[in-house]
Structure 1
Amino acid sequence: MKRSSAAQIQHKFEPDQILYLIGDVNYSTVYLCDGTAILSSRTLKWYHTKWPDFIRIHKATLINPQYIQSCHVISCILAQITMQNGATMTISRRRIHDVLGHLRLPYLRSATAHWNDYAVAEVKLA
């Protein structure tokens, strides 16, 4: 009887089928539009290199900007993105400015404001 090793099994999916990816060390869980989750032995860095349009919102999260439902900016250190399937993910504080710039959303801060004077905003994208 012939055994198939895990290295022989490869999942083929298009980037437009993917909602987001969650990384865990050298593995990634790929969440598809149809609700399935696939465990992959590739890193998020590999996927981000392959699909540069995806946005790295956190060390362990890579999202497809096509499926963002809303972005909720609470302060300069707290922002969240809601995907079309209802999943809410936190943007890391060091990436908020870059993520909002990639989405072409204003970073709501006045020139003389203190860090806690940021305006609360929610932007619907879909």
Structure 2
Amino acid sequence: MNVALWAIAGLLAAVFLVIGGIKLTRPKEKLLANGMEALEPLPPGLIKFIGAAEVLAAFGLILPGLLDIAPVLVPLAAVGLLVIMVGAVVTHALRREVGPVLRNLVLVALLVLVVWGRFGPYAF
């Protein structure tokens, strides 16, 4: 199970590094034009903040466990991403966007697994 948790954390880290990096580096108008219409009501500063949080949490899913420095940060990073993803699920649900809701629920389930495993029986 430890190997599975590492693999899931690695996959999640890659996903959030890319998604957060896109939010950090592209202007709001380009994000909206590229299919991220759910970000439309958010101010640009909040979008950048969410992107930065996603990038930092991506590193937090891997580096503390890999370096054995404050490994409790791994499940805490997953909890932070859970907060963001619950907001994303609610936002997409209010917009009646079924596909994004389902994709985000998959990410939520994987994050819950990491939180459970790293806070619980498979802690570092």
Fold shared, TM-score > 0.5 on shorter chain: no
The higher radius of gyration belongs to: 1
Give the TM bin, normalised by the shorter chain: under 0.3
TM-score after normalising by structure 1 = 0.25
Structure with higher helix content: 2
**More relative contact order, 1 or 2 (CA 8 Å, 6+ apart):** 2
TM-score after normalising by structure 2 = 0.26
Structure with higher strand content: 1
